Amino acid sequence: MNTKNILSILFILATIAFSLSSCVKGDFDEPPIIVPKVEFDTVARYDMTIADLLIKYPGTCDSIKDTIIIKGVVTANDESGNLYKAITIQDETAGIMIAINQTSLYVDFRVGERVYIKCRGMYLGRYHNLPQLGFINAGAIGQLPKAYISMHLFQDSLPGKKVEPVVVSPTALNVAMVNKLVRIENVSFADAGSTFSDADASGDRQLEGVGSTFIVRTSNFANFAKMTIPSGSGTIQGILSYYNSTYQLTIRDTNDIIGFKYVKTLFSESFANGLGGFTPQSVSGAQTWTADITYKCAKMSGFSGGNNQNEDWLISPAIDLSSVSAATVRFSHAINKGDVANMMTNHTLWISKTYSSGLPNPSDWVQLTIPTYPSGSSWTYANSGDIAIPAAYLGQSNVRIAFKYLSSTTESATWELQNFKVTE
Amino acid sequence: MKFIYTLLISLLFFSVPSWAQFSITGQVLDGLTGSAVSQAKVEAASKQTLTGADGRFVLEVSSAGDYTVIVTVDGYEVTSVPVKVTNGAADIGKVSLKPSITQSESGLAEITLSGESDDKDQAVSGVLHSSGDVFTNTASYSFSSMFFKERGYDSEYENVYIEGVPINDGESGRAVYGEWGGLNDVFRNREFLNGIEPGRFSIGTLGGSTNFTTRASKQRKGSKFSYALSNRSYTNRVMFTYSTGLKQNNWAFTVSGSRRWGNEGYVEGTFYDGYAYFVGAEKKFNSRHSLALTAYASPTKRGMSSASTQEVYDMLNNNYYNSSWGYQNGDKRNSRIKTSNEPMIILSEYWTIDEKTTVTSSLAYSFGKSGSTALNWYNARDPRPDYYRSLPGYQSSYPDPVDPVLSQTITNQWLTDPSVRQINWNGLYQANYLSNLEGKQANYILENNITSTNQWYLNSRLNKQINDNSTLNGGIELSHYKGSHYKTLDDLLGSNYWVDIDQYSQRDFQADTIKLQNDLKNPDRIIKKGDRFGYDYDLYSNNATLWALKQYSFPKQDYYIGGSISANQYWRYGNMMNGRDTLTSYHKSEVHSNFNYSIKAGYTYKISGRHYVTINVASMTRSPLLRDAYISPRTTAKLSPGMTDVRILSGDISYVFRYPNLNGRFTLYQTVFHNYSELLRFYDDDLRTFVNMSLTNEDRVHQGFEFGAEAKLMSNLSIVGVFAYGNYRYTNRPTGTRNYDNGSLPDTTEVVYLKNFFVGGSPQIASSLGLHYNKNYWFFDLNANFYDKIWLDVNPQRRTTSTIHGLLPSESDIIKTLSQQQQLDGGMTLDASIGKSIRINSYFLNINFSISNLLDNQKLISGGYEQSRIDFNTAGNRVENLNAFPPKYYYAYGRTYFLNIGFRF
Quick one: pLDDT at residue B723?
96
Segment B599-620 shows an average pLDDT of: 93
Quick one: pLDDT at residue B360?
96
Which of A2, A107, A253 is the best substitution to test chain B (most B C-beta atoms within 10 A)?
Answer: A107
| pLDDT class of A42 with cuts at 50, 70, 90 | low
Cα-trace Rg, chain A: 32
| Interface touch B263/A24, C-beta < 8 Å | yes
Quick one: pLDDT at residue B536?
97
Chain B CB contacts of A137 below 8 Å: 398-400
Give B609 or B435, the one with higher predicted confidence.
B435
| pLDDT class of B690 with cuts at 50, 70, 90 | confident
Nearest to B398 among A4, A137, A195 (CB): A137
What are the distances in angstroms from CA B304 to CA B233, B321, B338, B389, B797? 10, 12, 7, 23, 27
| Interface touch B510/A224, C-beta < 8 Å | yes
- Tens-place pLDDT, residues A309-349: 999 999 999 998 988 888 989 898 999 998 999 999 999 99
Q: Give me chain A's average pLDDT, please.
A: 91
Pair (B829, B692) in one structural domain: yes
Nearest to A227 among B238, B437, B510 (CB): B510
Quick one: pLDDT at residue A26?
74
Nearest CA in chain A to B399: A137
Q: Is the dihedral of CA A178, A180, A186, A191 positive or negative?
A: positive
CA distance B203 to B206: 10
Least Cα separation, residue A228 to chain B (angstroms): 9
Segment B616-620 shows an average pLDDT of: 97
Please name the residue ranges forming H helices in A270-412.
343-346
Partner B contacted by A140 (CB < 8 A):
no
Helix, strand, coil percent values for chain A (each to nearest 5): 15, 40, 45
Q: Is the pLDDT of residue A418 over 70?
A: yes
Chain B CB contacts of A200 below 8 Å: none
Quick one: pLDDT at residue B131?
61
Q: How many domains does chain B have?
A: 3
Among residues B366, B214, B222, which one has the least CA distance to residue B280? B214
Which of A7, A15, A34, A252 is the best substitution to test chain B (most B C-beta atoms within 10 A)?
Answer: A15
CA distance A365 to A281: 14
Segment A48-59 shows an average pLDDT of: 96
| pLDDT class of A177 with cuts at 50, 70, 90 | very high
Least Cα separation, residue A316 to chain B (angstroms): 28
CATH of the domain at B79: 2.60.40.10
- Domain assignment of residue B728, yes or no: yes
- Domain assignment of residue B357, yes or no: no
Which domains, ranges and CATH numbers included, belong to chain A? Answer: 46-156 (2.40.50), 166-262 (2.40.50), 268-423 (2.60.120.200)
- Tens-place pLDDT, residues B738-776: 888 777 788 889 999 999 999 998 899 999 999 999 888
What count of CB pairs under 8 Å joins A to B? 132
Q: Is the pLDDT of residue B112 over 60?
A: no
CA distance B266 to B80: 38
Q: B93: phi > 0 → left, psi -120 to 50 → alpha, else beta; which?
A: left
Pair (B686, B833) in one structural domain: yes
- Tens-place pLDDT, residues B34-73: 888 888 888 887 788 888 888 899 888 878 888 888 888 8
| pLDDT class of B121 with cuts at 50, 70, 90 | very low
Angle at B232 (CA atoms; ends B231, B235), nearest 5 degrees: 50
Domain end call among B75, B97, B119? B97
- Domain assignment of residue B565, yes or no: no
Among residues B722, B875, B708, B844, which one has the least CA distance to residue B785? B722
Pair (B89, B226) in one structural domain: no
- Domain assignment of residue B404, yes or no: no
Nearest to B510 among A14, A108, A226 (CB): A226
Partner B contacted by A28 (CB < 8 A):
yes
Q: Is the pLDDT of residue B122 over 50?
A: no
Segment B279-298 shows an average pLDDT of: 96
| pLDDT class of B108 with cuts at 50, 70, 90 | low
Cα-trace Rg, chain B: 28
Instruction: Give me the domain span that covers residue B840.
Output: 652-886
| pLDDT class of A269 with cuts at 50, 70, 90 | confident
Domain end call among B303, B324, B340? B303
Among residues B160, B164, B189, which one has the least CA distance to residue B50? B189
What is the three-class DSSP state of B110?
Answer: helix
C-beta pairs of B386-389 under 8 Å, 24+ apart in sequence:
B386/B306, B386/B308, B386/B309, B386/B312, B386/B321, B386/B323, B388/B309, B388/B884, B388/B885, B389/A103
| Interface touch B400/A138, C-beta < 8 Å | yes
Angle at B414 (CA atoms; ends B408, B416), nearest 5 degrees: 95
- Domain assignment of residue B429, yes or no: no
Chain A CB contacts of B426 below 8 Å: 31, 34
In chain A, which among 216-245 make CB contacts under 8 A with chain B?
223-228
Partner B contacted by A215 (CB < 8 A):
no
| Interface touch A107/B431, C-beta < 8 Å | yes
Q: Give me chain B's average pLDDT, please.
A: 88
- Domain assignment of residue B147, yes or no: no
| Interface touch A15/B259, C-beta < 8 Å | yes
Quick one: pLDDT at residue A1?
56
- Tens-place pLDDT, residues A59-109: 999 999 999 999 999 999 999 999 999 999 999 999 999 999 999 999 999
Pair (B690, B823) in one structural domain: yes
Strands B896-904 and B843-852: antiparallel
- Domain assignment of residue B735, yes or no: yes
CA dihedral B799, B800, B803, B805 (to 10 degrees): 130
Instruction: Please report which helix (H) or strand (E) contains residue B154, including its range.
Output: none
Give A386 or B447, the one with higher predicted confidence.
B447
Segment B295-309 shows an average pLDDT of: 93
CA distance B779 to B773: 5
Return the top range by mean pLDDT from B477-486, B605-614, B864-873. Answer: B477-486
- Tens-place pLDDT, residues B499-527: 999 888 777 777 677 888 999 999 999 99
Give the start-end residues of each E strand in B342-412.
344-354, 357-377
Q: Is the pLDDT of residue B608 over 90?
A: no
Nearest to B263 among A25, A34, A148 (CB): A25
Segment A2-6 shows an average pLDDT of: 82
Nearest to A101 among B275, B379, B398 (CB): B398
In chain A, which among 94-123 make CB contacts under 8 A with chain B?
101-104, 107-108, 110
Which of B226, B271, B405, B433 is the best substitution to test chain A (most A C-beta atoms within 10 A)?
Answer: B433
Chain A CB contacts of B389 below 8 Å: 103
| pLDDT class of B132 with cuts at 50, 70, 90 | low
Give B11 or A105, the one with higher predicted confidence.
A105
Nearest CA in chain A to B262: A24
Quick one: pLDDT at residue A252?
96
| Interface touch B403/A22, C-beta < 8 Å | no
Please name the residue ranges forming H helices in A235-288.
none
Least Cα separation, residue A11 to chain B (angstroms): 7
Domain end call among B258, B275, B303? B303
Pair (B88, B229) in one structural domain: no
Contact in structure between B764 and B728 (CB atoms under 8 Å): yes
Chain A CB contacts of B239 below 8 Å: 15
| Interface touch A22/B240, C-beta < 8 Å | no
- Domain assignment of residue B41, yes or no: yes
Pair (B678, B814) in one structural domain: yes
- Tens-place pLDDT, residues B564-582: 999 999 999 999 999 988 8
Chain B CB contacts of A148 below 8 Å: 406, 409
